[in-house]
Chain A
């Protein structure tokens, strides 16, 4: 529809009137910081000594020479590999169960969703109690492990926390996807004699593939940046076994106030996430219809 000149002027005016303030905020707090962060990473920018000195790629070379940084990178990758597949599978499984004709569906949906809407600080504190030496987990299993102070189990406990909270969240995404699958597909499969198991793998899984992709992408971005749970449950310990990259950024930036160095670490993390996303796009992205 061709617009007369006055109409177009009205549209442009209203557009800027509506968009102006939100866009200003986003420019200040998103667009500009992205560029600025890159710049800061080339500076020795310390708030304690109040120093701002251009140092070229020094921050990056120091970073790559720091054993703790490599350890945090390794921890982050292991964490992500451990959490993402399990949270995605559990989310799909919960959604599949919720999609059956069951009594009290609302109650069960609420039960699975409660950890997802609870503050990470609350769930983390709760996990400290559950997994403490005399907590419920040890009492139920008969173990005597101090989960969060044992370097071999601390990260596993934090992973369990994240799987527990996010699977319910992504369940809702899958549920929406499952409900859009036409019943006729299942009916046809039943007529052909397909079992429930076959229906799940041959109809459900392929049909929710766009949602799976979405959940994998979001799960990966979230896992790579895990912070709250680390801060509350372990503070990176014991012996740095749970120091992740985002926690490393936090320590350097906001405990030592080495902001240039922290910005460089954040940049590396962003590159890692970006590369992982590219891999996902290559192998998991559903074809556009």
Chain B
């Protein structure tokens, strides 16, 4: 009995230590972001004293940085890519899960093998296309390469394959078209998968750094990560401002996660468990 108690104690100690390691930095970030003084590294003790707190840094984010413009850009890109990814991956996933047509295996094989190609080799050619089409430093250039991703198509395909065939066979005998089967039988039961695709895409687009950093040249086309990434050096003397700005960037993905937790886990289970 004594031993069991000790085991439990050690277990919870480890758990708390891990928790501190994983969210401690964010708490540090929060205290810096509300610090009155710019000298945040003097002593951590000063950070946690209420008289030294202020919300002014959060107000300054909107004044001292082009934060509003970056926010609008980030929201616009993320919303467009999320909608198109849900739509296109559902369409393509349905085809690969249910419709047998000449060339399906070939196309699917191509998709499968290009998943193993590292994204880094796509950068230069994509940039050259964009440059030739005069799309560098435009919203179109920022958005179109990620209107649909192969991973999302796979996720939808795998989900659709779990739907029993009885329903659609009955519908086919009744003379139902495949278009209606997709629209009226498949989509209504696919909320978890569609939500997973939406959440992943949202998170991916919101946090994406490499492509926007290459394709956007001027500040008015920066997304939030790119803006902060470029102006970080300029504002490194103002840590409270920088920490307030970066905390604001984190909020949307955190909220989405809190609201849609169970879809997150289901989605990873579907994509990761079957490999």
Contact = CB atoms under 8 A, between A and B. Distances in A.
Interface of A: 8, 10-12, 14-16, 18-19, 21-23, 25-26, 28-34, 36-37, 40, 45, 47, 94, 97, 100, 102, 106, 108, 110-115, 117-123, 125-130, 132-136, 139, 164, 168, 172-173, 175-177, 180, 210-211, 213-215, 217, 221, 224-225, 227-228, 231-232, 246, 249-250, 253-254, 259, 262-263, 266-267, 269-270, 273-274, 277
B268 A176 contact: yes
5 contacts: A12-B101, A117-B254, A121-B228, A128-B236, A139-B44
Interface string B224-258: 11101100100010010011001101100110011
Given A37-B121, A117-B203, A214-B275, A19 B177 contact: no
A286 B132 CA distance: 45
B265 A122 contact: no
B118 interface: yes
Interface in B110-155: 110-111, 114, 116-129, 131, 144-148, 150, 153
Nearest to A14: B178
B26 to A, nearest CB: 7
B126 A34 contact: no
A253 B177 CA distance: 50
A279 B177 CA distance: 47
B178 A11 contact: yes
Contacts of A119: 206-207, 209, 224-225, 246, 249-250, 253
Contacts of B127: 253-254, 259
B268 A172 contact: yes
B164 interface: no
A164 B19 CA distance: 12
Contact of A37 (B41, B107, B124, B147): B124
A110 B261 CA distance: 9
A254 B118 CA distance: 18
Contacts of B247: 122
Contacts, number: 252
B111 A26 contact: yes
The 5 A-B residue pairs with the shortest CB-CB distance, nearest first, are A134-B41, A176-B269, A33-B125, A173-B272, A121-B225
Contacts of A263: 121, 124-125
Given A22-B148, A120-B207, A210 B22 contact: no
Contact of B257 (A31, A113, A136, A221): A113
B101 A11 contact: yes
Contacts of B174: none
B29 interface: yes
Given A15-B104, A139-B43, A37 B122 contact: yes
A118 B265 contact: no
Given A119-B249, A263-B121, 12 more contacts: A18-B92, A25-B144, A26-B150, A29-B145, A33-B121, A110-B257, A118-B207, A122-B225, A122-B247, A172-B265, A176-B272, A249-B123
B66 to A, nearest CB: 16
A266 B203 contact: no
Nearest to A173: B272
A120 B178 contact: no
B273 A176 contact: yes
B232 A211 contact: no
B88 A270 contact: no
Most interface-central of B43, B239, B246, B249 (chain A CB within 10 A): B246
A227 B207 contact: no
Given A22-B92, A112-B22, A173-B268, A129 B111 contact: no
A161 to B, nearest CB: 10
